[in-house]
Homo-oligomer: A and B are copies of this chain.
Amino acid sequence: MLIIAERINATRSRIAHALRWRDAGLIAREARAQAETGASFIDINAGSDPAREAEDLEWAVSVVQQATDLPICLDSSNPEVLRRGLELLSGKAVMLNSVTGEKAKLSAVLPLASESGALLVALAMDDRGLPDTAERRVEITGAIVRAAEAAGIGRDRLYVDPCIQPLSTSPDQARAVLAAILRIMAAFPGIHMTCGLSNISFGLPNRALLNRTYLACLILAGLDSAIVDPTSDGLMDAVRAAQALAGRDEYCMNYIRAMRPRTP
């Protein structure tokens, strides 16, 4: 299970502030706190100010690299920003977040992933917008897979995000995304599935409960990655329980180890 830790994101005001004022201590603490939960990648989104984004990302990457050994997931909607981040991380394991099925995005981001060997988050949306149904998600994924393979990116490097929309406004979203995951995995064997989880609970109370409950269900369906706040209450415990239930934890050893009372 590949956990992409999402807390260093400029849409959070504390992070935007830390980027603006070069508060390395705060960024480093966020990186370490997420690393300690067992996360796999530290996502960095520095997009608070388009004029400064590339420079802010470069600074944050260097801070996170000093704070943890975890690989970095470069997160930007601007391909040029991704390119500059990749230069800084040349030769290291890295993930790009994200490409979509939009034609302009595919032609700008696929070459970056191809050349660098990066793993690639692919959002199942395209020039027609966000998908509502499982069918549309399968269709968009197909277009992304074909374009990626033509660019020399095997589907084993693709992490498809089915683009969860809020349950509060779309009551059938949770089931549609679950169905999409099952269908995409059946249609494109070897592909990975991830998801930006927290959208599901937008506008509802006790979001942590809805998020971790839904994540566990998606893991049992086959999800093998997620973009989450791994410090969220109970989230990583739910992940470990779901991994055991999914038969992906031999003799439940990871689960048993994680449940041991921690010695001080």
Chain A residues near B (Cβ < 8 Å): 167-168, 171-172, 174-175, 178, 200, 204-206, 209-210, 213-214, 216-217, 220, 237-238, 241-242, 244-247, 250-252, 255-256, 259-260
Q: Which of B205, B214, B252 contacts A245 (CB 8 A)?
A: B214
Given known contacts A174-B220, A216-B216, A217-B217, A204 and B245 CB-to-CB distance under 8 angstroms: no
Q: Please name the residue on chain B nearest to A171 by beta carbon.
A: B247
Give the interface SS of chain A, mostly helix, strand, loop or mixed. helix
User: B256 contacts A213, CB within 8 Å?
Assistant: no
Would you list 16 pairs from A and B whose C-beta atoms are within 8 A, ordered by A residue?
A167-B244, A171-B247, A174-B246, A200-B245, A204-B252, A204-B255, A205-B256, A205-B259, A210-B244, A210-B255, A213-B238, A213-B241, A213-B242, A213-B245, A214-B241, A214-B245
User: A205 contacts B260, CB within 8 Å?
Assistant: yes
Q: Which of B204, B217, B245, B252 contacts A242 (CB 8 A)?
A: B217
Q: Please name the residue on chain B nearest to A210 by beta carbon.
A: B241
Question: How far, in angstroms, from A245 to B259 measured CA to CA in the complex?
Answer: 27
User: A204 contacts B256, CB within 8 Å?
Assistant: yes
Q: A167-B244, A217-B217, A217-B242 are in contact. List 5 more A-B contacts (CB 8 A).
A: A171-B247, A171-B250, A175-B245, A209-B241, A213-B238
User: A174 contacts B247, CB within 8 Å?
Assistant: yes
A261 to chain B, nearest CB (A): 9
Contacts of A220 in B (CB 8 A): 174-175, 178, 217
A240 to chain B, nearest CB (A): 9
Question: How far, in angstroms, from A48 to B123 measured CA to CA in the complex?
Answer: 57
A252 to chain B, nearest CB (A): 6
Question: How far, in angstroms, from A178 to B221 measured CA to CA in the complex?
Answer: 9
A193 to chain B, nearest CB (A): 16
Question: How far, in angstroms, from A247 to B230 measured CA to CA in the complex?
Answer: 26
Contacts of A174 in B (CB 8 A): 220, 245-247
Q: Which 4 A-B pairs have the closest CB atoms?
A: A174-B245, A205-B259, A213-B241, A217-B220
Contacts of A172 in B (CB 8 A): 247
Contacts of A216 in B (CB 8 A): 213, 216-217
Question: How far, in angstroms, from A259 to B206 measured CA to CA in the complex?
Answer: 7
Question: How far, in angstroms, from A214 to B247 measured CA to CA in the complex?
Answer: 12
A15 to chain B, nearest CB (A): 27
Q: Please name the residue on chain B nearest to A177 by beta carbon.
A: B245
Question: How far, in angstroms, from A200 to B251 measured CA to CA in the complex?
Answer: 14
User: A168 contacts B252, CB within 8 Å?
Assistant: yes
Contacts of A206 in B (CB 8 A): 237, 241, 259
